[in-house]
């Protein structure tokens, strides 16, 4: 294994991690922003009001994006397992 291979392997793993986490983080960000605007407009300053909608949005997003996320992870894992003989050399 060369240093270039290790760096490219780590880059691919980090890229996949970011790609998989972006939809859920994006949903949390959008819902959090909407709740913050709602709180600013209505002058409701309840701290727990912001957590419940974000949790629900992320859970619904997880239900929606789980097959895609799992497909990406399984594909990456299959690629790693298939290429083990090449990594050993």
The ranges assigned to domains in the chain are 3-88
Q: Which backbone phi and psi does 61 adopt, to 5 degrees?
A: -65, -40
Residue 26 scores a pLDDT above 90: yes
Contact between 77 and 71 (Cβ < 8 Å): no
Highest mean pLDDT range out of 14-18, 44-48, 49-53? 14-18
**Distance between start and end Cα atoms, the chain:** 7
pTM: 0.79
């Amino acid at each position: 294994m060369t240093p270039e291979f290790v760096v490219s392997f780590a880059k691919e793993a980090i890229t996949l991690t970011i790609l998989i986490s972006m939809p859920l983080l994006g949903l949390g960000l959008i819902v959090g922003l909407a709740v913050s605007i709602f709180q600013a407009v209505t002058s409701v300053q309840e701290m727990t009001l912001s957590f419940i909608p974000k949790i629900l949005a992320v859970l619904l997003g997880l239900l929606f994006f789980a097959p895609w996320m799992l497909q990406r992870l399984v594909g990456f894992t299959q690629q790693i397992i298939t290429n083990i003989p090449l990594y050993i050399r």
